[in-house]
Structure 1
Amino acid sequence: GHNQNNGLSPQEPLKNIYYALLKLHTDENNPGRICMADGLYGNYINNESFPLLARDYTSLIGESEEGVIWDGQDTTSMITSYNTLNDFAIENITALRAGNPNIETPWFSFLLFNSVKLKNISISETSILNRLIYNGQRYADSSYFKNIRIENTHGNAAFSIKNYQPNTQQKYCELINIQIIRHLPIFENEWNGSGSALQVHGSDEAQKKVEIKNLLLSENQYEDNIWIGASAMALSNGDYTLTNATIAHNLSDGPSCAVHLANGQFKIYNSIFYGLRSRSFF
């Protein structure tokens, strides 16, 4: 592709995702879609400018999860947003080699958002001080995260969803087909080098309903003498339902290796826990 093309057809593709985002003019009635062809995208490969700046009412859709590869090449972050983000989606990408273990920057960072969807995402070969996927402050009923695989990574929580915004009206979130395997601490960082594989937190004022279906958390490790957590899941301030989960061979030097729940409800259906090592189970 070339950024002098019009970018409106496969015959006239643009070169860079960041440039396509700059060209879009979207609103609630005119959403935009950026279609990414199979190939490598990276700062040193095709001058891709990571981190990308997410746009309202925009979808980034890859041709295939295996074929569209975002190579961070040690950049600190892949995509971020600075203001409230509305109706944003990413589908069908493999992302690897991003993050800096000495800089506190989430890999995918959406600070405030309404209706964010991540689907068919694979993440690997990453070492990061903060969270790999971080969705903070508030989220809407239609937000969901589906077919997410995070493997062979290091750092704080692999997948963190937080809702600390009080008086939030919409409080539902769905996670489907989530796999987090071998997420390990950054041992040389005493303050923020470890975290649970999956974290979901809320405030007392904004408790939420969270549905988690088809979950695999395996061979993850938690090491933190400051915060209470678990190598698999840390949950708080919500109504959680877990269905069809396998939580196995997770190791924790803290009080829990399977699930740590603070101030909320937790229901489990058709799930198995085994091979867990910790000072306590729940």
Structure 2
Amino acid sequence: IQPYDGDIYVNPYTGSNENSGTSWAEPLKSIAWAYHKIHVDSISKNTIFLANGIYSDTTNNEKFPLNIRPFIKLVGSSRNGTILNGSEKVKLLKGNNNVTDFAIEKMTLEGGPIIDYDDYVSSRALLAFLYTGCARFELDSIVFRDSYTFDAAGILTYYQADSSVVSNCLFRDNTGGQAIGMGSDGDKTQFINNCIVTNQQPDENVPPNRLMMGKLIGDGGTGRTIVQNSLFYNNPRMGVSRWPYGNSYFINCTFADNSWYDEKAFVYVADANMHLYNCIAWDLGPVPMAINVGEWQMFTHSYLNIYNSLVEGGQGSITIGESCFHHDTNWCHIYYDSTNIDADPAFLGMWDHPYMISDGSPCIDAGTLANLPDFIELPEHDLAGNPRIVGDSIDMGAYEWNPTIVGLHDIGPGNRNEKTQLLKASPNPFDWGTKVEVETKVDAEVEAEAENGFGLEVYDSYGRYVRQLIISGLHHNKEVLWYGDDNNGKPLPAGIYHIVLFSGDKEVESLKVVKK
């Protein structure tokens, strides 16, 4: 057939594969035929639009798995209304190796193949297998639900997908394996933003000597994975892991009410590096976190670094494996920063987002912007779609406390303790410049440290460092004028910025300012 160089429209009920597919008035009937017919162009990318409805072998004779094509967007009409159903026979998406720069948005994937336990390995059950090297793909606003996966495979599985982004997705009510199985090597980075994983069940029917799993994210390889603003709750067995090699970063994630099935570690790292910033880890069962050496023959060190996070039980809740010590060497290393806290996070416990923090939570403004790695860029919104930073600093967890939300204010253990602000800026908002003042005399501890000098740094709303305001030998009531520029004197765009006060390496306070 002659490929069509333009957008294509599909409707499982009113469409026909004899139609042109070039408008909603003449839609095609099946997605597979649309993928076959659409023209691929790396410069001018085309889109397949899907009407709401169920796409399956019985409703529209859909041919699964869909062979994803590069540079093509597949966009449903709504996340809950556009449903791809495998009728428990076949996986839905297949990416093939090195198919890049595709996007899939706004739909539900469900009903992947049921496992044949008499032929377990050959079953290869999962929902979406994107294979290897599918760089720069985007999966946005997708529900993955009611499916099985085998051994350590993921409901969604992919490898070596540099600059891939999975965002605003919900993984729920799946069984076996992992919700997301992934890995990367070298300088490749994979992103997961604003996602929820819940009710990932272990598979109790696996044959002897096979893995019943029930893990949320399994990751490995020498590359890097960044997970931000994500919620993991009500999962009975296993959580997130990094093994072996590489780095996993969890930024503003909430892990809560998980891991009651047995004594599997919920947060686990071995022969690799895991970093937690601004996270909440609460009610994670008998082994909340663990560090170990999975294969001591590798002679690889393991690192678990935790900053500005709420961890129930504190550092004492981290289990150190027996394999950490061999050949007269400690191969496991924990850095537990003094900014971490052990307290009730005061979740809201109601409405659509019960793991939002309530008024009076110790997580409010307790996160860090300044200590985040330079390559971290914060999402614009939290998991509820509200601004990621409200108030003077970022909060811990996947949700930002916001007193402007109707009905939220004053729900919780009590109003926040009022304290005298050390930082002031006037005017705020400002046009050409603002005077930043630092008052240290009101705080005895801060005043005692004044001899060491103070530093002021500026960060944008994505957590990126943009300006150093140098104030050396600062004592009482000092001030500096900031002209809204970066370190090179270049004017910064209008927007929200955060001025952070340091005493040595300690982040003391931050202040939100607005440049008009």
Give the secondary-structure state (helix, strand or coil) at the position aligned to 2:80.
coil
Q: What is the 5 A alignment of 1:82-161? A: 82-102=96-116, 103-112=123-132, 113-129=134-150, 130-136=153-159, 138-141=160-163, 143-161=164-182
Query: RMSD between aligned alpha carbons?
Result: 1.8
**2:332 — aligned with what?**
none
**1:175 — aligned with what?**
192
Q: 1:105-145 CA deviation, whole Å, 9 max, x = no partner? A: 33110112111110001122222324200012x1223x101
Give the secondary-structure state (helix, strand or coil) at the position aligned to 1:266.
strand
Q: Which AA in structure 2 matches 1:135? A: Y
Q: What is the 5 A alignment of 1:24-35? A: 24-35=38-49
Higher relative contact order, chain-length normalized (CA < 8 Å, sep 6+): 1
Name the CA distance, whole Å, in 2 between partners of 1:2 and 1:76.
Answer: 23
**1:210 — aligned with what?**
225
Give the secondary-structure state (helix, strand or coil) at the position aligned to 2:276.
strand
Report if aligned partners of 2:127, 2:147 keep a CA contact under 8 Å in 1: no
**1:260 — aligned with what?**
268
Report if aligned partners of 1:105, 1:131 keep a CA contact under 8 Å in 2: no
Name the CA distance, whole Å, in 1 between partners of 2:28 and 2:220.
Answer: 39
Q: Give the 3 Å change call, closer, same or farther, for CA 192–101 of structure 1 in structure 2.
A: farther
Report if aligned partners of 2:110, 2:127 keep a CA contact under 8 Å in 1: no
**1:196 — aligned with what?**
215
> Please, which runs of 5 or more residues in structure 1 have no aligned partner?
223-230
**2:432 — aligned with what?**
none
Q: State yes or no: 1:75 paired with 2:84.
A: no
Q: Offset of 1:280 from its aligned partner?
A: 6.0
Q: What is the 5 A alignment of 1:44-59? A: 44-59=58-73
Name the CA distance, whole Å, in 2 between partners of 1:151 and 1:280.
Answer: 21
Name the CA distance, whole Å, in 1 between partners of 2:264 and 2:82.
Answer: 40
> Please, which runs of 5 or more residues in structure 2 have no aligned partner?
1-14, 117-122, 291-516
Q: Offset of 1:265 from its aligned partner?
A: 2.7
Name the CA distance, whole Å, in 2 between partners of 1:151 and 1:127.
Answer: 11
Give the secondary-structure state (helix, strand or coil) at the position aligned to 1:194.
coil
Give the secondary-structure state (helix, strand or coil) at the position aligned to 1:126.
coil
Q: 1:48-76 CA deviation, whole Å, 9 max, x = no partner? A: 11111111111101111121111221122
Q: Which AA in structure 2 matches 1:2? A: S
Report if aligned partners of 2:140, 2:166 keep a CA contact under 8 Å in 1: yes
Q: Which AA in structure 2 matches 1:239? A: N
Q: For the pair shown, which has the larger CA radius of gyration, 1 or 2?
A: 2
**1:226 — aligned with what?**
none
- Counterpart among 2, 18, 41 of residue 32 in structure 2: 18
**1:239 — aligned with what?**
247
Q: Offset of 1:18 from its aligned partner?
A: 0.4
Of all paired residues, the percent bearing the same amino acid is 24
- TM-score of the aligned structures, taking structure 1 as reference length: 0.87
Q: How many residues align?
A: 263
Q: 1:142-198 CA deviation, whole Å, 9 max, x = no partner? A: x101011011111111111122xx6x5x41121111111010111110413324111
Q: Offset of 1:30 from its aligned partner?
A: 4.0
**2:52 — aligned with what?**
38
Q: Offset of 1:235 from its aligned partner?
A: 1.3
Report if aligned partners of 2:54, 2:82 keep a CA contact under 8 Å in 1: yes
Give the secondary-structure state (helix, strand or coil) at the position aligned to 2:289.
coil
**2:236 — aligned with what?**
221
Name the CA distance, whole Å, in 1 between partners of 2:242 and 2:176.
Answer: 18
- TM-score of the aligned structures, taking structure 2 as reference length: 0.49
- Counterpart among 283, 303, 308 of residue 275 in structure 1: 283
